[in-house]
Amino acid sequence: MTSTSFPPQPGTAHRATPPPAAHDGRSGRAGADGTARTLRVGPRRPGRQRTAYLYLAPALLLYTCFVALPWLHTMWLSLFTWDGVTAGSWAGLGNYHQVLTDPLLRSSILHALGFVVFYSVLPIALGLLLAAVIGGRGGRRYPVSRTVLFLPQIVPLVAVGVTWKWMYSADGMVNQVLRAVGLGSITRAWLGDFTWAYVAVGLIGTWVMLGLCLIIFQTGIQKIDPSLYEAARLDGAGPVREFLAVTLPGLRPEIGVAATLTMISALASFDVVYVTTGGGPGDSTIVPGVLIYRLAFTNGEVGAACALAVVLSALIALAVAAVGRLTREKS
């Protein structure tokens, strides 16, 4: 039965308007009059898909040639005992067994995990504090300080390593400052000390990553709705309470980005360690990046180096996946 709300106007032909279709969601079929009609939700247009693939093709080709294929080749080489010159011999999973059982290889992985504290945890904590103090809600206070803190990100890491190697030397700036404040008794050649070399190198990573975290967090603060801060102040919240109740939850995606970038830098660190200590003294600061270089180009153990590289890649992938899961916003 068809019903109309108004009678037809005289002299005009009445055209019955069909009732609005009831959409059942997934199937896309509609029609209360019993007539099955199919609504096309998200129509597929093969022509547009082919055009999209054409745009993606150059990037996909480069990624395949320079990332995917070399990584697969590295996995293949990790199954051989090979010195890089003569013919290799099949080793199966022997190189991976060496990575998991050799004390030096295991210690390099532990050192990389320890660097997460210096490269990721400390910069994120200090970056959040500085973003709240320097940036504020407007994000426009102390622009000079923000620029100075970001400078390490635009300096090559080799230059950073050379600079800090001089600063940590026996007559470097660090010891000069300690003598000036009356702490001359604890001065030493920091990068040559078995106890403090690891901490000294880690603090370089903190200095490098702090500016990046600060910029990311300040950008995130600017997108937080100011009315939330006003509501918090009306409720009697102070600066600390505002930071914990408004700023910190609002920066959850930015914290995830910062944690991902800094953890990758920690686990894949090479430049700073190689320039400052080369993995020493002894092997107290050895990391997988330096050890891969040493195994492949100095010791002629290409298979073991490739196996360590594959394990490091898997470790980084797991860390990134864990960070993404922990910082994912609930819908």
Q: What is the pTM of this model?
A: 0.77
SS3 (DSSP) at 176: helix
pLDDT at position 288: 92
Q: What is the DSSP string of 129-142?
A: HHIIIIITTTT-S-
What pLDDT was estimated at residue 19?
47
The pLDDT, as a whole number, for residue 6 is: 39
Residue 45: per-residue pLDDT: 66
Q: What ranges in the chain are assigned the alpha helix state H? A: 46-63, 69-77, 94-101, 103-116, 122-130, 143-154, 157-167, 173-180, 197-222, 226-234, 239-242, 248-250, 252-267, 271-276, 288-297, 302-326
| Structure confidence at residue 105 (pLDDT) | 87
Nearest to 280 by CA among 290, 268, 267, 265: 290
Q: How buried is 31 (Cβ within 10 angstroms: 0-12 exposed, 13-18 middle, 19+ buried)?
A: middle
Spell out, as residue ranges, where the chain has pLDDT lower than 50: 1-36
Per-residue confidence (pLDDT) for residue 24, from 0 to 100: 45
The pLDDT tens digits of the residues spanning 275-287 come to 999 988 988 999 9
Q: What is the pLDDT of residues 51-110, one digit of tens each?
A: 888 899 999 999 999 999 999 999 999 999 988 888 889 988 999 999 888 899 889 999
Tokens of 184: 């001359």
Q: String of b and e for 89-108 (b: at least 16 CB within 10 Å)?
A: eebeebbbebbeeeeebeeb
Are 149 and 210 spatial neighbours (Cβ–Cβ below 8 Å)? yes
One-letter amino acid for residue 26 of the chain: R
CA–CA dist 231, 242 (Å, integer): 10
What sign for the dihedral angle of Cα 79, 269, 131, 143?
negative
Tokens for 118, please give them: 């210096």
pLDDT of residue 31: 46
Tokens coding 264: 């990758």
- Residues 296 and 302 sit within 8 Å (Cβ to Cβ): yes
**How many other CB atoms are there within 10 angstroms of residue 208's CB atom?**
25
Indicate the length of the chain as a whole number.
Answer: 331
pLDDT of residue 47: 72
User: What are the two backbone dihedrals, phi and then psi, of residue 81, each rounded to the nearest 5 degrees?
Assistant: -95, 110
Q: What is the per-residue pLDDT for 33?
A: 47
Smallest CA-to-CA distance from 149 within 167, 132, 131 is with 131
Specify the residue for token string 């320079």.
66
The per-residue pLDDT for 305 is 93
Calpha distance 147→145 (Å, rounded): 5
d(CA 80, CA 78): 6
DSSP 36: -
Helix (H, G, I), strand (E, B) or coil at 38: strand
